[in-house]
């Protein structure tokens, strides 16, 4: 029978119409599934949107209320004189709240530029050890107040990277800030940086804090995603830091990977590619050829 006709004409035509019907049923079910998943996606998008609006309103309103409240007290100074030390303190509070507001607004602008592919890095040579020194000293007081040991270790040699120094600083500021924010009193945060044998640069930020499970890591990496609403609300934040950090590192040709387990701390590992690989990715990264 090999090579001969399979079945009679009648069975063939029956099979033909059966497979036609099956095809139609598959198509119908695919369309139904597509409609269903489009509906689910729209639901998720709506939920994220409303969570975003309520989070954002809170994040924007808190510093704005500070600005309005304390500037009103200052403006009333002629009628209700304030002691000199209060004037200085109120001005300081207004300054802190406004710079907090500016950070939030810049984050929103960054994420929308990144998402639309319009974000451009200001490429230059930068000393990573200096950036990490400055970030850790910025957080030293906060860590001391929170009873958390903060250590930096970058070995003996200066570590030079090619990238946008200001943005790299922003990334590590956020990662170190998170590590402190989500670690309990008595815990520790260690930042270490090394040049690897293949000339890539690896920076690890390890904390002994609350940690996250796999699903929570996914949430944390998505824009506006915060793992534990209550805890984060208490700690403040927009949930934009991590997705921006990851996107910025990827714009540098690098990677940002989070390893964590609930209750046993978090390790964020950032790598910058070796110069030879950066050279190969030059076109994709929008990096201009070196002059001279
Ligand atoms: N080191 C960490 N340990 C535990 N949870 C973390 C850590 N870093 C980030 N997270 C979780 O990921 C969420 C998102 O972080 P991020 O994007 O920086 O936003 P934000 O700091 O504004 O909350 C945090 O709200 C927190 O739930
Ligand atoms: Mg953060």
Q: Cβ contacts of residue 162 below 8 Å, gap of 6+? A: 123, 124, 125, 126, 272, 275, 278, 287
pLDDT the model gives residue 228: 60
For 13-119, CATH gives 1.10.287.130
Distance 137 CA to ligand 2 centre (A): 17
Residue 210 has pLDDT above 90, yes or no: yes
Confidence grade of residue 291 (pLDDT, cut at 50, 70, 90): low
Percent of the chain with pLDDT strictly greater than 70:
89
Q: Where in the chain is the domain with CATH 1.10.287.130?
A: 13-119
pLDDT the model gives residue 253: 95
pLDDT the model gives residue 23: 82
Q: Which ligand sits nearest to residue 268's alpha carbon?
A: 1
Distance 230 CA to ligand 2 centre (A): 15
Distance 138 CA to ligand 2 centre (A): 15
Three-state secondary structure along 11-73?
HHHHHHHHHHHHHHHHHHHHHHHHHHHHHHHHHHHHHHHHHHHHHHHHHHHHHHHHHHHHHHH
pTM exceeds 0.85 for this model:
no
Q: Which ligand sits nearest to residue 236's alpha carbon?
A: 1
Confidence grade of residue 164 (pLDDT, cut at 50, 70, 90): very high
pLDDT digits (tens, 9 = 90+) for 218-262: 989 987 666 665 444 444 667 889 999 999 999 999 999 999 999
d(CA 118, CA 68): 34
pLDDT digits (tens, 9 = 90+) for 101-124: 998 888 888 888 888 888 999 999
Percent of the chain with pLDDT strictly greater than 90:
57
pLDDT the model gives residue 80: 95
CATH 3.40.50.450 fits 124-285, yes or no: no
pLDDT the model gives residue 76: 96
Measured from the CA of 242, which atom of ligand 1 is nearest? 17
pLDDT digits (tens, 9 = 90+) for 127-153: 999 999 999 999 999 999 999 999 999
As a whole number, the mean pLDDT across the chain is 87
Q: Which segment of 83-87, 170-174, 225-229 scores lowest on mean pLDDT?
A: 225-229
Q: Where in the chain is the domain with CATH 3.30.565.10?
A: 124-285
pLDDT the model gives residue 292: 44
């Amino acid at each position: 029978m090999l090579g001969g006709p399979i079945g009679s004409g009648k069975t063939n035509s029956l099979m033909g119409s059966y497979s036609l019907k099956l095809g139609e049923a598959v198509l119908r079910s695919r369309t139904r599934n597509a409609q269903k998943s489009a509906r689910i996606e729209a639901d998720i998008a709506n939920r994220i949107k409303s969570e975003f609006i309520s989070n954002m309103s809170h994040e924007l309103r808190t510093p704005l209320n500070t600005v309005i409240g304390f500037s009103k007290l200052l403006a009333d100074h002629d009628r209700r004189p304030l002691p000199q030390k209060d004037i200085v303190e109120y001005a300081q509070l207004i300054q802190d709240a406004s710079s907090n507001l500016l950070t939030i607004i810049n984050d929103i602008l960054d994420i929308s530029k990144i998402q639309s592919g319009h974000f451009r890095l200001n490429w230059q040579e930068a000393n990573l050890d200096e950036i990490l020194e400055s970030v850790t000293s910025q957080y030293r007081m906060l860590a001391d107040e929170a009873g958390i040991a903060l250590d930096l270790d970058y070995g003996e040699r200066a570590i030079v990277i090619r990238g946008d120094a200001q943005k790299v600083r922003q990334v590590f500021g956020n990662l170190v800030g998170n590590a402190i924010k989500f670690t309990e009193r008595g815990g520790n945060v260690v930042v270490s940086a090394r040049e690897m044998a293949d000339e890539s640069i690896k920076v690890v930020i390890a904390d002994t804090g609350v940690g996250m499970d796999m699903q929570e890591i996914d949430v944390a990496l998505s824009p506006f995603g915060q793992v534990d609403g209550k805890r984060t609300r208490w700690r403040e934040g927009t949930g934009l830091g991590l997705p921006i950090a990851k996107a910025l590192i990827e714009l540098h040709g690098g990677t940002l990977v989070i390893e964590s387990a609930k209750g046993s701390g978090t390790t964020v590992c950032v790598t910058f590619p070796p110069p030879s690989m950066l050279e190969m990715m030059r076109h994709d990264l929008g990096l201009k050829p070196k002059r001279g």
